[in-house]
Structure 1
Amino acid sequence: MNHRLRPGTLAAGALTLTLALSGCFSSGTSDAASAGGGRISLAMLQPPRSGLSPLSDDAFKLSRWSTAETLVVLDDASDPLPALATGWDQTDELTWRFTIREGVTFHDGSALTAEAAANSLRKATEASPVPRILDGVDLQVDVDGTTVVLTTADPDPLLPNRLSSPQLSILSDAAYATGAVNPVGTGTGPFELTRVDGTSSATLERYGDYWGEPAAASGIDVDFVPDGTARAAALRTGTADIVEAVPAGQAASIEEGLINEVPMPRTNTLYLNAETGPFSDPAVRAAAREAVNRAQIIASTYEDRADGASGLLGPALPWTVDMRDDASYREILAGRPDPAGIDGVKVSLGTFTDRAELPEVAVLIEQQLEEAGFIVEQDVREYQFIETDALEGAFDAFILSRATVLDSGDPVAYFAADFTCDGGFNISQLCDDAVDQAIAAAAQTDAGDKRREAIMAAEARILATDTAIPLLHERVIQGEAAGVTGTARDPRERLLVTGETQVETQR
């Protein structure tokens, strides 16, 4: 395989709120941009959990600030494209060679070389715990001139996709000088991370020697604001230019033009226990499937800020939509059994409180199932106290909000974890030879159209069992003040502030 590409009271109340919020934000935000080329103020949902180490989920912050970059990026269809690597070749089923881009410098002034890139990848393979994207991957990293040579123990058609994960960002050697990985001043992106104030704030400046187009804005002032009401108020009052994750309940209080709904690769699904209990009968599962009213759930709990689910994969993967019209897909679903008549069948229904919407969804699902003749007993706890029971099949039904596209940009890992006989997250206790074979076929197919076809065939096989009833696909609400342009609205949540982002008008 070869890949090469060219590169009054109300007023008083508002004033009080504004003054109160000013304590939540770093002093840099008061000097934020009044025109293009100025600074951008950003309010983020979660503070760093691991000191902004790229080997953790904090890596996604670094990529959303355009400070750390990877060898590969993904296009909208999740196909790999060159980034810090200009191209790659697969020389045999286990070996890949990535050519490193010339003329790139790290923020500390050192040059990007094949050895520097290999050093970052080696640090990732040696980390404990290993970054999630490399879980189960035995990867050897070598250097040959200007190329990084990667060898896997088993064939891995998704290796270029894996290298797009922010957890495999390439940093200078200086980042690894101590035990902890330090991203300050060691990335390659259009913005240099210059200061981190614990879990409170971070500061970035335009990097003048960036290898691509220089950033339009002079810098970014980041504040970590876990409170959703405070984030929403920051957008309303102009305290922040860009706001992550505006709560759905706050969206109605914000001027419509300031919020943007981005489909997420996250599906709320009703899992049915195929191994024991009433739902071990496929016809009873079919009755539950027919009882579900998605529109009611979306209108009531999500205030119509979600998408109804016709499959496990949603509009964050737009290529899935038309493929469900394929005759072979419909033929697989046509084999589902007719619903059984239900009269007083008792079922247990579990979910968790950590995602505020799920207990409300459980109430509606209970009502819908009971209208169909089921008798439902709910069990709702914090996730940490219910996960073990869910995975061990203690419930007849379980409602879960599940990320469907993991770090590789590909849903096969999710299918394998949730729906194969040996899957480590198989809440529905499903073990079906046809499903296992379909998922295995998708896993072994190279990235591209053929893999997407295999993925949809696997989805159809899973849905045909009625062990997973997709309810809805979540959206994230991104706030952007008037005059903000050039932001990314990324379903994978890897990008946000880009080199093109700027504030064109005064707040």
Structure 2
Amino acid sequence: MRSRRSACRSPSNARSNAMKRLATACLLAALAVPAAAQQLTIGFKAAVDGSDPHLNYTPNRNVQLHVYEPLVLQDEFLKPIPGAASFWRLVDPTTWEFTLREGLTFHDGTPVTADDVVFSIRRARAITGLRTFVVQTRSVAAVEAKDARTVVIRTNGPAPLLPNQLAVIAIVSARATEGATEADFNGGRAAIGTGPYRWVRFTPGQEVVLERAASHWRPQEPWQRVSFRFIPNDSSRVAALLAGDVDVIDNVPPSLATRLRESERTQVVSGPGMFTLYMYLDHFRDQVVFATGADGQPLPRNPIRDARIRQAMNLAINRVALAERGMEGFADPMGQFAAPGFIGHVPSIGVAPHDPARARTLLAEAGYPNGFNLTIQCTNDRFAGDARVCQAIGQMLSSVGIRTTVEALPSAVFFRRANGGQGLDPEFTAFLAIFASSTGVASESMATILRTRNAARGHGSLNRGRYSNAEFDAALDRVDAAFDEAERDRLNAIATRIAIEDNAILPIISLRAGYGVRRGLTLQPRGDGYTFATAIRPAQ
């Protein structure tokens, strides 16, 4: 840049035409410099804790998907589109073939080969613990390189959703990643991907900095540098956007959205989301400690195992009020596992009506004419408004005779107790948590949170209520085996209806992805709520 500026101040004895040509060149250079040096700063609610893309954690994936790419990408409704693979085909009912893009390279310039893909899938499958991709890779029996650009994946049965499942498995460089430590990833040595941005710097608890890759198969990004700055406090994040310290923020809290809408410098953008708030219900205990009689004494049996009680709880909840008032329009009422537009949504299944009179009748029919006492648990820091919505649900249950105490907990405490661990069962009786399958497929959500637990098959890994229904499991088996899309939709509707009519779990609201954006930028909302620099553009 210094050389360009000095040239623009060339000696005054230059000829007039030469000066004109120089002035024109300087003007073009001046116009080009800002475009090449554009920076984008995103205020991010949740802190990233690492760069290893095979550790399944939503905030990490949001940033990592700029750096690493899977074979299959997802559009804003999480439907599969070509990624590192330009093409894929079904060879036979248990064999898929994926063809890598011609000329695809890693950020260090080395070519991507089928061996890197084989290594990546095997590595993702080998990682154990809670933050794994075991559910998404459960159908993979073997993976091999047919040639330098062709990967063959054999499944342990028909797997029509394999492309959707592979959309969450990042391709890493086998050379850079073999034997790499967490520090190698976080420091950048092993953080070698094929994405439009490369990993530059990670400051734990503060920010991640990315830079535009030297080359990429998609059109060049407008942002030379992207910073994800971690600002967990909602008010501080909004204030940073209003002050111009950041260009975009995620997770706009409903209570503060008006400030952004009223400012001349900012705007609010939102879209339908796949994250659904569910009430998980204890289906496995005969007796529980978080439900007691109207007199406060222990109950002889777990009331939630009675289908009439579950239905009463479902009818007591006013989902429209929660979405419109509790979340101030940043949520939609939900009655199933996928919102409209997402894979597996069943148009014929509506939202449960709010019918407190019928709820009281069902309580009486179940043997609780005077109701009972219930403690429900929820998070107080997982999404904007979670504790407020939890309190509102507690009041709705209390109004029909289920006198509810709310225990709102920090996420770290809540999930430790809700997930169980070390072979233990979850502690709670009825509790609220958001969930979405990273594939964006309704049957995958059901397989994770409701299918009978089977670690070997990757079923029910987050079935916190220990629901088990052979008819439901068989219905999902049929969904898993259907290659015809129309037939799969029909079978998915059957499985969905079984779970919803049994009130196996109570879908309540789906969270809308809400962003604050400075004027002069456009942003395409995503159903997964991710904030992609690739979806942010200067306004035309």
TM-score, normalised via structure 1 length: 0.79
The match for 1:411 is 442
The match for 2:485 is 448
Unpaired runs of 5+ residues, structure 1, are 1-32, 326-335
The CA deviation string for residues 118-148 of structure 1, in whole angstroms up to 9 with x for no partner, is 3333333344559622344554332121211
For the aligned residues, what is the CA RMSD? 3.5
Unpaired runs of 5+ residues, structure 2, are 1-32, 287-301, 351-358, 454-459
Structural mapping, 1:162-241, within 5 Å: 162-165=165-168, 167-171=169-173, 173-176=175-178, 178-180=180-182, 182=185, 186-241=192-247
Larger deviation, residues 375-384 vs 146-155: 375-384
Letter in 2 for 1:217: W
Q: SS where residue 253 of structure 1 aligns?
A: helix
The match for 2:526 is 490
The match for 2:313 is 288
Distance 2:272 2:241 in 1: 20
The match for 1:55 is 54
1:430 is the counterpart of 2:467: yes
Distance 2:131 2:143 in 1: 15
Distance 2:376 2:108 in 1: 51
Call closer, same or farther: CA 1:59–1:151 in 2, change over 3 Å: farther
The CA deviation string for residues 276-335 of structure 1, in whole angstroms up to 9 with x for no partner, is 42333323333332222223333443233211123232246276263537xxxxxxxxxx
The CA deviation string for residues 162-219 of structure 1, in whole angstroms up to 9 with x for no partner, is 2211x42344633446334535672222222233334423332322322221112222
Identity of aligned residues (%): 22
The match for 1:266 is 275
Call closer, same or farther: CA 1:383–1:172 in 2, change over 3 Å: same
The match for 1:105 is 105
Distance 1:115 1:377 in 2: 55
Q: SS where residue 264 of structure 1 aligns?
A: coil
Letter in 2 for 1:306: A
The CA deviation string for residues 446-505 of structure 1, in whole angstroms up to 9 with x for no partner, is 3734323322221211111133332211123212111113x341112456111x643459
The match for 2:91 is 91
Larger deviation, residues 381-390 vs 186-195: 381-390
Call closer, same or farther: CA 1:240–1:306 in 2, change over 3 Å: same
Residue 246 of structure 1: CA displacement? Answer: 2.2
TM-score, normalised via structure 2 length: 0.74
Structure 2 counterpart of 1:161, from 153, 159, 164 = 164
Larger-Rg structure: 2
Distance 1:414 1:92 in 2: 26
Q: SS where residue 288 of structure 1 aligns?
A: helix
Q: SS where residue 133 of structure 2 aligns?
A: helix
Call closer, same or farther: CA 1:35–1:102 in 2, change over 3 Å: closer
Letter in 2 for 1:157: P
Structure scoring higher RCO (CA < 8 A, sep ≥ 6) equals 1
Q: SS where residue 117 of structure 2 aligns?
A: helix
Call closer, same or farther: CA 1:130–1:138 in 2, change over 3 Å: farther
Larger deviation, residues 271-280 vs 436-445: 271-280
The match for 2:502 is 465
Letter in 2 for 1:68: Y
The match for 1:400 is 432
The match for 1:314 is 339
Letter in 2 for 1:80: P
Q: 2:274–2:527: 8 Å Cα contact kept in structure 1?
A: yes
Q: SS where residue 533 of structure 2 aligns?
A: coil
The CA deviation string for residues 238-281 of structure 1, in whole angstroms up to 9 with x for no partner, is 11112122222322221356111233212222344456423333
Q: 1:202–1:223: 8 Å Cα contact kept in structure 2?
A: yes
- Aligned positions, number: 458
Distance 2:484 2:45 in 1: 33
Letter in 1 for 2:228: V
Distance 1:438 1:231 in 2: 44
Q: 1:348–1:379: 8 Å Cα contact kept in structure 2?
A: no
Distance 2:343 2:153 in 1: 31
Distance 2:406 2:244 in 1: 43
Distance 1:221 1:72 in 2: 25
Structure 2 counterpart of 1:363, from 370, 388, 391 = 391
Distance 1:104 1:414 in 2: 32
Larger deviation, residues 387-396 vs 208-217: 387-396
Structure 1 counterpart of 2:304, from 255, 279, 291 = 279
1:502 is the counterpart of 2:537: yes
